[in-house]
Amino acid sequence: MKKRLVVSGLILVFACAFVFDNKLYYPALPIESMSKKAVIEKLNDSDKPIVTLSNENGQQWYIIRERDASAADELIKEMVSQKGWTFRQKEGSGLFFEKQGENLIVTTQKWTGDYVLVKIPAPFS
């Protein structure tokens, strides 16, 4: 009986460690080419406020560590404006930009309470 309890306890500890190490408790990512663990490690290894994640299906993905959505919007506006785009308006989770008659829609998505995912159509520069 005692041996069975110890084995069960060890299995539970290893299972919890696996879930925690691989960030399985985070919500699903809309990016197929990266794991949750890789995304968090990439952000933690960078000293920049906005980090490039992936270029997938004609979309560039970024992540921002931010609790305040308006601060994330300001970071996005600054990044996109550096490429010559002019901010026009925000509607819901979309930020609308314009450059030489072309339109660009940048969308944001709250991934967790601490992280915001940003999706920008690939050739925005």
pLDDT digit string (tens) for 68-122? Answer: 667 888 999 999 999 999 999 999 889 999 999 889 999 999 888 888 999 999 7
CATH of 30-121, one of 1.20.1050, 1.10.10, 3.30.310, 3.40.630: 3.30.310
Please tell me the predicted confidence (pLDDT) of residue 14. Answer: 77
Cα 59 from chain centre:
13
Task: Name, in order, each residue with C-beta under 8 angstroms of 50's C-beta and a sequence gap of 6 or more.
Answer: 62, 63, 64, 75, 76, 79, 118
pLDDT digit string (tens) for 10-40? Answer: 788 777 777 666 666 677 788 888 888 888 8
8 A C-beta contact, residue 96 and residue 105? yes
Distances (CA, A) of 115 to 4, 17, 29, 63, 108: 41, 22, 12, 7, 10
Please tell me the predicted confidence (pLDDT) of residue 90. Answer: 93
Please tell me the predicted confidence (pLDDT) of residue 95. Answer: 94
Please tell me the predicted confidence (pLDDT) of residue 65. Answer: 86
Please tell me the predicted confidence (pLDDT) of residue 22. Answer: 63
Q: What is the mean pLDDT of residues 61-66?
A: 89
pLDDT digit string (tens) for 2-15? Answer: 888 877 877 887 77
